[in-house]
Structure 1
Amino acid sequence: MVRYTKEHKQVTRQRIIEKSGQRFKQDGIDGSGISTLMSDAGLTNGAFYAHFASKDDLVAHVMADQLRTQIAAYGTLRPGRAGLEDLIREYLSPAHRDHPGTGCPSAALLDEIGRCEDQTKQAYTDGARNILDEIAARLSPENPQSARGKAIGLYTMMVGTLQLSRALSDRKFADEVLEQGIENGLALMR
């Protein structure tokens, strides 16, 4: 029997989380079985339970990781409101719409997260709070709490706009929804 180091186990676990995040956003949580998730990570089904107690446990870890990664990416944006404008334009872009597997977990999975167990809802809630805090801090650096309502409005508008655009079969209409979402987002920033 081969014994792996603790570091190897952590690297393998992180690979499962990252690959599962992509698969969940592409095919949905319910549409992604353990065998597919493990195959994506280059592992056998039997290795799953060495890393996670259940699929729900994996989903909670994936949500936490996905939202942490999303927030970390905000750090690469220009400071303040300029970076927030960049975020709105990038988030509501055809490229983001057309590649859900590499995009925002909220737009891809929100309906399913609402039906998940408490552990996943808590991981999502913590991540969503951090995203809203980041947006509020960009809207009002001197008093982020004063911009919390505006941050909630902006984030929910962005997520809903992206979801609607993804659901439309008419490409021109879907692009129009994104363009109007950008205008609405920029107006909310004022």
Structure 2
Amino acid sequence: MVRYSKEHKQATRKHIIETAGRRFKRDGIDGSGIATLMADAGLTNGAFYAHFESKDDLVATAVADQLRVLNANVVEQAAPGIAGLEQIVRWYLSPQHRDSPDDGCPSAALLDEIGRCTDATKQAYTDGVLEVIDGIAARLAPADPGSERSKTLSVYAMMIGTLQLSRALADRELSDALLEEGIHNALTALGIKQSG
């Protein structure tokens, strides 16, 4: 039997988490079996249990990882202050994000399923969302981000719903118009003045 280094095992686990996160967002949690998830990672089904106790364990881990990636790649990369808030809103409600669910926010892709998941997954989701929300709120109120947490969470929920609906519409023009209106509504709710 071949023994792998600790680093190899960690890299393999990370690869499984990343590929599973993309698959979950594309096909849903219920629509993604262990065999498919492991095939995506280029591994056998038997290797799964060397890294995770159950599919629920992988789901919680992948959801947390996807939110960490969203925070690192979108929220933390945005400019400081109001300019950064506008960047985040415009990215989130963009046609590119709408058309690439497997590379986007896990909330818009998986929220209905996460609500039916285990408490561990819900807690991983809650912790990850609060990290994203706090990063956004820090641009709204740098001196006291906590004072803007509820407002920011409400705007985030509005953006999630707008993105979900835009993905479900068959009429591309209507979908695009919805995204534009969503941007306007989110920026207004955040108190950001817009020209025009």
CA distance in 1, matches of 2:132, 2:158: 14
CA drift of 1:146 comes to: 2.0
Maintained 8 Å contact 2:76/2:135:
no
Structure 2: gaps of 5 or more residues: 192-196
Letter of the structure 2 residue corresponding to residue 105 of structure 1: P
Q: Does 1:50 align with 2:50?
A: yes
TM-score, normalised to structure 1, is 0.98
Paired amino acid for 2:184: E
- CA distance in 1 between counterparts of 2:11 and 2:86 reads 35
**TM value normalised by structure 2:** 0.95
Q: Show the counterpart of 1:65.
A: 65
Cα deviation, residue 152, structure 1: 1.5
> What's the CA shift string for 1:52-71, capped at 9, x where partnerless?
00000000000111111111
Give the match for residue 160 of structure 2.
159
1:90 aligned residue? 91
> Which whole-Å deviations, capped at 9, do the CAs of 1:43-85 have from their partners, x for residues lacking one?
0111000000000000000011111111112211111111110
Rounded Cα–Cα distance in structure 2 between residues aligned with 1:130 and 1:76 = 14
Matched, 1:7 2:7: yes
Which runs of 5 or more residues in structure 1 are unaligned? none
Q: Take 1:2 and 1:149, find their aligned partners in 2: how far apart are those partners?
A: 51
Per-residue CA deviation, residues 18-66 of structure 1 (Å, 9 max, x unaligned), is 0000000000000001011000001011100000000000000001111
Aligned length: 190
Match of 1:182 in 2: 183
4+ long deviations beyond 4 Å:
none
C-alpha RMSD of matched pairs (Å): 0.8
The separation in 2 between residues aligned to 1:56 and 1:146, in whole angstroms, is 34
Q: Percent identity?
A: 66
